[in-house]
Structure 1
Amino acid sequence: MTTTEHQEGRVVLSLLPVVVMAVVTIVDLTAGPGVGFLPLVSLGPAFAGLIGTWRRTALIGVVALLLCVGLGAYDGLFDSRRGYTAMASVAGVTAAGVAAAVMRGRREAELASVRSIAEVAQRVLLRPVPRSAGPLQVAVSYTSAVAEARIGGDLYEVVASPYGVRVIVGDVQGKGLAAVETAALVLAAFREAAHDEPDLAALAARLERSVAREVHGDKFVTAVLAEVRIEEQAAVLLNCGHPTPMLVRRDGSVDFPQPPSYALPLGVGMLGGEPPRSYQVRFAPGEQLLLYTDGVTEARDADGTFFPLEERAGLLKEPEAEAALEALRMEVVRHASSPLHDDAAMLLLRYR
């Protein structure tokens, strides 16, 4: 639901108590006392308690009570119990609505506090990457599969190290707070090791030790590491069970450079398998390198068709890197036509 749709829904709910009481009044005056619509005036404060403050709910309740008295006197219901029963119904529903509004207000205040903390956590975990690093333009995009969430199990980082611009994009197995905790662990290890380790294989080994030491059970992290060597006009890649990056050449052609061997994800290296090996690809001015998580390529439309990333590479022709990546992100969301089933992170390196 968009922000505009959400605001329109709130306006409708805010007007609903007044509309309901007006309709009940008209029907009661038209049909007469024999139909027994008067107790339905209590729907006004009932609906007010769904969205309004306790003060507004109490005000609607007072209006409903006065309306009940007026209609009851007009219909002559106070000659029997019916008028007093209707008043008791309105008063009881109003009290319940006020109590519900008070409790909801407290929960909303607590939620606002939690969200402010989450905003700080987002800035610490997925802090803004530099928009440029030498001749490189950098843009990132993150779409969480969890409604209202800003962070999840996907991770990315860009570090200007003594060995070149180093990048990581990864995906933690699982969801929820446990995945966020593991992502924070990997990012912290990468930010430190990227400045110390002379090559990507040593960097990956250090990340493997950090994950294996701290993460227990069946948790693992797929990741791709990249090191851009400006002077050599090349990029060195190392893949740990992650989707292959997409390289967009200057002429618009697309390439997915495959690793010489597929290594296991971080956290399960002790199970054996091929050790991670880096490989070098040409990365020259005018070209773009897109690193992404499987939430992008596995986004499905209503027919179950996966997102055709290679066919949508033309969206990256936008002059600005951020605008280009946003266009691609919007296309992924449009293709899914519903909330994504997995987090989707993308990091674009554009060689100006």
Structure 2
Amino acid sequence: MAEQKPRRIGILDVLPFAVMAVVTVVDLSEGPGVGVMPLVSLGPAFSGLVGGWRRTAVVGAIALLLCGALGLYNGLFDDRRGFTAFASVAGVTAAGLVAAMMRQRRELELASVRSIAEVAQRVLLRPVPRRAGHLRAAVSYTSAVAEARIGGDLYEVVASPGGVRIIVGDVQGKGLDAVETAALVLGAFREAAHDEADLRSVGARLERVADRELQGEKFVTAVLAEVRDGHLVTLLNYGHPAPVVVGPDGTVRFAEPPRHALPLGLGVHGAESPEPYEVGFAPGEQLLLYTDGVSEARDASRTFYPLAERLDLLKDPDPEAALERLREDLVDHAQGPLHDDAAMLLLRYQE
């Protein structure tokens, strides 16, 4: 078992003791006329912000002892001032204890929710196979919220009798509703990818499921891909950003569909289904599928991420390392948390 590193002591850890020390020094040097003695209550007040209830209780006990000692030293208990100051410190300590216990309870609840979400994410987005036929695959998922473990982007790679079939999609909306929709689409794709004879049939089944199950204004943009022998990739695009093919010499080709179609879930509006189209995909080339959290990421000046200009970062022989470099560059461009989840799936054709 790896040895657990000790937690680093921060400013808020020492602040309660520093404040009480300063108040004590000022009171002793300036005398009771300054009236700073009640400020020792800041110790337990600050402690409740970061410490547990036990630590807050210890700091509060120290504050009460200091208040009592300074009150006796200054002769304040001869009138009401000393008792008023002592009562105020006791009251702040009690409030700090309640705040610390409530905060700890919320942290435990949040940790439990995060743990459940992380398990759900692993079930929903399973690790893609690193090798599938002539393909090597790598995937990257960056949440718009640093603490998040789950979102609405989806991806899957399935090695089926009809070839290697891939989906990358983005669910409209966020939260548990988006997760439920992503699970629905992924479940339908995993089943259809094995059962259906061609990519058009896979897409048709996804359309039926989405039109039947998605209610209101819910929809999913998605791109489906199928790689067979023959140095071609067949694509089916439901309103999703076009995949990009990167050649061995660094040339970039965006695989735009011949006709744009509506996302999954909007078929009830009578729109036509997308047409499958083929794009050359030869040994040595790379195919990058991604969500709009990548192409629409902006920096402080509202400039979109220049994806086509950054694809030279995919030169690393290891596809996972190459995709990680691209992800790091994306985060650097955004100069902070992304405004939308960003998923990328990289395929390399190798003989």
Query: What's the TM-score bracket when you normalise by the shorter of the two chains?
Result: over 0.9
Q: In 1, Cα distance between the equivalents of 2:48 and 2:276?
A: 61
| Counterpart position of 1:144 | 143
Amino acid at match of 2:292: D
Match of 1:116, SS state, is: helix
Q: Unmatched 5+ residue regions in structure 2?
A: 1-5
| Counterpart position of 1:210 | 209
TM-score, reference length from structure 2: 0.95
Amino acid at match of 2:224: L
Verify the 8 A CA contact 2:172 2:218 in the aligned structure 1: yes
Shift of 1:325: 0.7
Residues 19-66 of structure 1: CA deviation (Å, up to 9, x unaligned) = 111111111122211010000000001111111111111100111111
Residues 212-249 of structure 1: CA deviation (Å, up to 9, x unaligned) = 111111111110001111x2122111111110001001
The yes-or-no answer on 1:226 pairing with 2:222 is no
The yes-or-no answer on 1:96 pairing with 2:95 is yes
Task: Give 1:172-321 correspondences, 5 Å limit.
Answer: 172-229=171-228, 231-321=229-319
Residues 81-111 of structure 1: CA deviation (Å, up to 9, x unaligned) = 1111111111111111111112222222222
Amino acid at match of 2:279: V
Amino acid at match of 2:29: T
Shift of 1:146: 3.0
RMSD: 1.5
Match of 1:237, SS state, is: strand
| Counterpart position of 2:133 | 134
Task: Give 1:24-43 correspondences, 5 Å limit.
Answer: 24-43=23-42
Match of 2:347, SS state, is: strand
Amino acid at match of 2:156: E
Verify the 8 A CA contact 1:261 1:274 in the aligned structure 2: no
Q: In 2, Cα distance between the equivalents of 1:185 and 1:106?
A: 33
Residues 282-338 of structure 1: CA deviation (Å, up to 9, x unaligned) = 111111000001110111111111000000000001121111111111111111112
Q: In 2, Cα distance between the equivalents of 1:175 and 1:111?
A: 18
| Counterpart position of 1:72 | 71
| Counterpart position of 1:105 | 104
Count of residues in Structure 1 that have an aligned counterpart in Structure 2: 345
Shift of 1:270: 2.8
TM-score, reference length from structure 1: 0.95
Match of 1:34, SS state, is: helix
Verify the 8 A CA contact 2:258 2:277 in the aligned structure 1: yes
Verify the 8 A CA contact 1:153 1:176 in the aligned structure 2: yes
Q: In 2, Cα distance between the equivalents of 1:193 and 1:235?
A: 18
Q: In 1, Cα distance between the equivalents of 2:9 and 2:304?
A: 35
Match of 1:195, SS state, is: helix
